[in-house]
């Protein structure tokens, strides 16, 4: 059964720092990996999706990488801002599944002004 | 823009009541999902559906049922609500097999069972 782990569980950084969030998964047979953002009391917003054949995706200050063979992904946030404060969730769709996501427990990020 | 709409943001019900949570999507997605999110347990899949009148159990289906009579609407039903079903419920939708497209989520329903 696929398991997804995110480290660290919480992270606090000063504004302007570059930071990396980590995600690992146990079964490398995946269709894709997705990174989401969740603000308190709200739903999930899709940030980046990396298909199994891809190595990375970029959107603005965000860059996500995927190393399927080692079961790892990283989300890089450049020049962090207080508005980036949120919980970041990593999730995978396993091959052979009906496209349901398996989620990590998230990293709660606080960017201090 | 894809829109997934959940009927209520907050809901308070009593133990034993039958509770309906509604979700509507406007992108003609085949797949629809219901998750619950609890502190320390993360998001867990309750049920999903890949077509009208089709349903599949997720990881934690006990105490729940679902209905999908129309493609755009997926309902979660708590047959007899219990206090351990107090949680945040999230609905999502996606294409059946477009792996370059993400799942889209609603804003969630925070359900309290008293």
CA of A34, closest CA in chain B: separation in Å?
7
Reported confidence tier of residue A36, pLDDT bands at 50, 70, 90: very high
- Other Cβ atoms closer than 10 A to B54: 11
Q: Shortest CB distance from B105 goes to which of A43, A49, A106?
A: A43
Chains A, B: CB pairs < 8 Å = 59
Check pLDDT > 90 for residue B41.
no
Please state, rounded to an integer, the average pLDDT across all residues of chain A: 94
- Does the beta-carbon distance from A43 to B110 stay under 8 Å? no
Check pLDDT > 80 for residue B2.
no
Tell me how far apart the 2 most distant CA atoms of chain A are, in Å: 45
Is residue A33 classed as helix, strand or coil in its secondary structure?
strand
| B11–A contact, CB cutoff 8 A | no
Average pLDDT over every residue of A83-91: 97
Check pLDDT > 90 for residue B5.
yes
Across B52-66, B72-86, B97-111, least confident range: B97-111
- Does the beta-carbon distance from A101 to B100 stay under 8 Å? no
**CB-side neighbour CA atoms (13 Å) of A80:** 22
Average pLDDT over every residue of B99-103: 83
**What residues in A contact B38, CB-CB < 8 Å?**
none
Reported confidence tier of residue A96, pLDDT bands at 50, 70, 90: confident
Identify the closest residue of chain B to A88 by CA–CA distance: B42
Check pLDDT > 90 for residue B96.
no
Query: Cα–Cα distance between A91 and B107 in angstroms, integer?
Result: 18
pLDDT value for A99: 78
- Does the beta-carbon distance from B105 to A89 stay under 8 Å? no
CA of B90, closest CA in chain A: separation in Å?
7
User: Which position has the higher pLDDT, B1 or B4?
Assistant: B4
> What tokens does B94 get?
């996606």
- The 10 Å CB-count burial string (b at 16+, else e) for B18-47 is ebebbbbbeeebbbbbbbbbeeeebbbbbb
**What residues in A contact B31, CB-CB < 8 Å?**
98-99
pLDDT value for B40: 84
CA distances from A37 to A3, A9, A14 (A): 19, 14, 19
Average pLDDT over every residue of B39-53: 92
Cβ pair A61, A48 in contact under 8 A: no
Across A39-43, A67-71, B19-23, least confident range: A39-43
Condensed to tens digits (0 to 9), the pLDDT of residues A72-81 reads 999 999 999 9
Reported confidence tier of residue B100, pLDDT bands at 50, 70, 90: confident
pLDDT value for B98: 77
pLDDT value for B112: 97
Across A46-60, B21-35, B91-105, least confident range: B91-105
Reported confidence tier of residue B70, pLDDT bands at 50, 70, 90: very high
Output Rg (C-alpha) for chain B, integer angstroms.
13
What is the distance, to the nearest Å, from the Cα of residue A50 to the centroid of all Cα atoms in its chain? 10
Cβ pair A109, A85 in contact under 8 A: yes
- Does the beta-carbon distance from B48 to A98 stay under 8 Å? yes
Tokens 């200050």 locate to A61
pLDDT value for B18: 97
> What tokens does B97 get?
């097999």
**What residues in B contact A106, CB-CB < 8 Å?**
42
User: Which position has the higher pLDDT, A61 or A94?
Assistant: A61
| B48–A contact, CB cutoff 8 A | yes
DSSP letters, B23-60, are EEESS--SEEEEEEEETTTEEEEEEEESSTT--EE-S-
């Amino acid at each position: 059964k696929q398991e997804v782990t995110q480290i660290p569980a919480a992270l606090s950084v000063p504004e302007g720092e570059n930071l990396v969030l980590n995600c690992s998964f146990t079964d490398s047979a995946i269709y894709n990996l997705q990174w989401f953002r969740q603000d308190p009391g709200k739903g999930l917003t899709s940030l980046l999706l990396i298909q199994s054949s891809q190595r990375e995706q970029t959107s603005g200050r965000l860059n996500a990488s995927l190393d399927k063979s080692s079961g790892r992904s990283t989300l890089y946030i450049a020049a962090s801002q207080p508005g980036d404060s949120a919980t970041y969730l990593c999730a995978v769709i396993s091959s052979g599944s009906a496209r349901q996501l398996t989620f990590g427990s998230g990293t709660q990020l606080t960017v201090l002004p | 823009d894809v829109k997934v709409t959940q009927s209520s943001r907050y809901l308070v019900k009593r133990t034993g009541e039958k509770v309906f949570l509604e979700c509507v999507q406007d992108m003609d997605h085949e797949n629809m999902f219901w998750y619950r999110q609890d502190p320390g347990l993360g998001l867990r899949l309750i049920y999903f559906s890949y077509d009208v009148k089709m349903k599949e159990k997720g990881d934690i289906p006990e105490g729940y049922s679902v209905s999908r009579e129309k493609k755009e609407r997926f309902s979660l039903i708590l047959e007899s609500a219990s206090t351990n079903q107090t949680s945040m419920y999230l609905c999502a939708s996606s294409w059946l097999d477009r792996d370059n497209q993400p799942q889209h989520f609603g804003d969630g329903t925070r359900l309290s069972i008293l």
